[in-house]
Amino acid sequence: MGPERKFGRASFFDGGLLALIGWTILGFLVTTLSIGILYPWSLVMVYGWKINHTVIDGHRMQFSGSAVALFGNWIKWLFLIIITLGIYSFWVGIKLEDWKAKNTSFVN
């Protein structure tokens, strides 16, 4: 019995390949056609799908972030990148991961 079954709970991902491909293509098209303006919507859509199909130790995860909330941060981060001549871009990835973690929880 491995550590993933220690307490009779399983960790797994129940999303399908075709759905992942579809969401990823849709996200890419939305981002590309909007010249990157709708990237927050694309990110929320794809990341939310992944998280909502993940179960850890028998607890389903849920993503509650919204594209509108991320868009506000995205504009703020873009402004900081511009005024720091690109230096702030090193922190944007960390800020984005922090935002995703703050909006991820367990359903049960």
Question: Is residue 82 helix, strand or coil?
Answer: helix
Give the pLDDT confidence score for residue 34 in this predicted structure. 92
Sign of the Cα torsion 46, 95, 40, 88 reads negative
Query: pLDDT in tens for each of the 108 residues of the chain?
Result: 444 555 557 999 999 999 999 999 999 999 999 988 899 999 999 999 999 999 999 999 999 999 999 999 999 998 999 999 999 999 999 999 999 999 999 997
Give the pLDDT confidence score for residue 61 in this predicted structure. 97
**Model's pTM, two decimal places?**
0.81
**CA separation, residue 29 to residues 4, 48, 49 (Å):** 37, 17, 17
CA angle 49, 36, 48 (to 5 degrees): 10
Give the pLDDT confidence score for residue 55 in this predicted structure. 95
Which residue's structure tokens are 């999303």?
15
> What distance separates the 2 farthest-apart alpha carbons in the chain?
55
Rounded to whole angstroms, the Cα distance separating 54 from 82 reads 36
